[in-house]
């Protein structure tokens, strides 16, 4: 039985399991099939794009560069206005030797967000790799004037490496100087989910709160933060956070069930049951919803107030 504060599976969990097993193309197909044909509301497009981006991360981590690029290409069909997706796809295209396409992807990312530091750096390094050292140096000096450089000495070392045409070494130095190195333990969503599954709701909440600025339209972040708040017994906070996840994606059944659990926690028993009923209306076989419905209604019992462990 799912314990009250645990994190239920999302609607794309089976596709993610396929991706973890190395079946990345099948995972993409499964997500696209679940999305269906025809126009989708914005919250639904966001959810689908995030699931595809998740598959891309797993494919890249497994060394499947081409599969990761294909997954990001699919994600962009649902959310072409995400500069991060264009940037990540550009980096994969560079690894695949598709430099012209990579440049177009970087330009698109910068059109959407002209202040995107990582994309500006990547474009300058692409210029340098194609022999345009002077243009790259000029772009990077402009970047240093307009962006907070965490380690100026390291940035200067990067410029010196670039002047010697050692652009790969320079790229490492610039990323370090600008604090752009990606964490070794994966994406924010993956790390937060792992922390929750390990029972560390406090650390998960801290991580998610720090990650939210600039990602306010990500339903998964609100969902996981609300789950962490629920685990900590912060029912009012969880209600507000989970309501935002549902607002962004009304079909996010896992978030709606966590919302029901938070309602149970504040004693709103009838409303909790209504949320479960809404999920069952859309998916009468939803396992977690059926479990909650049975637990709350069997033998005439009503939902009991959630108590912290």
Domains assigned to the chain:
1-113 (1.25.40.10), 115-181 (no CATH), 188-300 (1.25.40.10)
Q: What is the pLDDT of residue 77?
A: 94
Average pLDDT for 49-72? 90
Residue 183 scores a pLDDT above 50:
no
* Phi–psi pair at 212, nearest 5 degrees: -65, -40
Average pLDDT for 179-195? 66
This prediction's pTM: 0.64
Residue 7 scores a pLDDT above 50:
yes
Residue 37 scores a pLDDT above 80:
no
Give Cβ neighbours of residue 145 (< 8 Å, ≥ 6 apart): none
Q: What is the pLDDT of residue 73?
A: 97
Distance CA 196, CA 95 (A): 34
Mean pLDDT of the chain: 85
More confident residue, 34 or 283: 34
- Per residue in 229-244, pLDDT tens? 999 999 999 999 999 9
Q: How many CB atoms lie within 10 A of CB 305?
A: 10
Residue 3 scores a pLDDT above 50:
no
- Per residue in 61-102, pLDDT tens? 788 999 999 999 999 999 999 899 999 999 999 999 999 999
- Per residue in 126-158, pLDDT tens? 999 998 999 999 999 999 998 888 889 999 999
What's the token pair of residue 40?
A: 């989708």
- Per residue in 252-268, pLDDT tens? 888 899 999 999 999 88
Residue 182 scores a pLDDT above 50:
yes
Residue 29 scores a pLDDT above 60:
yes
Q: What is the pLDDT of residue 181?
A: 58
What's the token pair of residue 111?
A: 């059109």
Q: What is the pLDDT of residue 213?
A: 78
More confident residue, 261 or 168: 261
């Amino acid at each position: 039985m799912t314990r009250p504060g645990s994190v239920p599976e999302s609607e794309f969990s089976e596709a993610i399991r396929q991706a973890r097993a190395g079946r990345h193309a099948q995972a993409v197909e499964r997500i696209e099939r679940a999305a269906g044909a025809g126009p989708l509301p914005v919250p639904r497009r966001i959810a689908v794009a995030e699931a595809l981006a998740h598959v891309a991360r797993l494919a890249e981590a497994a060394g499947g560069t081409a599969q990761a690029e294909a997954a990001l290409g699919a994600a962009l069909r649902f959310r072409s206005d995400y500069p991060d997706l264009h940037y990540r796809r550009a980096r994969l295209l560079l690894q695949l030797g598709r430099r012209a396409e990579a440049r177009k992807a970087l330009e698109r990312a910068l059109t959407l967000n002209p202040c995107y530091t990582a994309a500006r750096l990547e474009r300058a390094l692409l210029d340098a790799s194609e022999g345009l050292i002077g243009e790259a140096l000029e772009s990077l000096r402009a970047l240093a004037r307009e962006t907070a450089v965490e380690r100026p000495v390291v940035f200067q070392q990067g410029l010196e490496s670039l002047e010697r045409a050692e652009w790969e070494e320079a790229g490492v130095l610039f990323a370090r100087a600008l604090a752009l190195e990606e964490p070794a333990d994966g994406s924010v969503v993956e790390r937060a989910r792992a922390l929750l599954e390990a029972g560390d709701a406090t650390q998960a909440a801290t991580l998610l709160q720090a990650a939210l600025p600039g990602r306010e339209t990500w339903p998964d972040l609100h969902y996981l933060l609300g789950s962490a708040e629920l685990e900590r017994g912060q029912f009012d906070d969880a209600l507000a956070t989970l309501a935002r996840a549902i607002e962004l994606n009304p079909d996010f059944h896992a978030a709606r069930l966590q919302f029901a659990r938070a309602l149970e926690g504040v004693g709103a028993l009838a409303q909790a049951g209504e949320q479960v009923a809404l999920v069952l209306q859309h998916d009468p076989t939803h396992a977690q919803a059926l479990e909650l419905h049975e637990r709350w209604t069997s033998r005439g019992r009503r939902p009991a107030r959630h108590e912290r462990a």
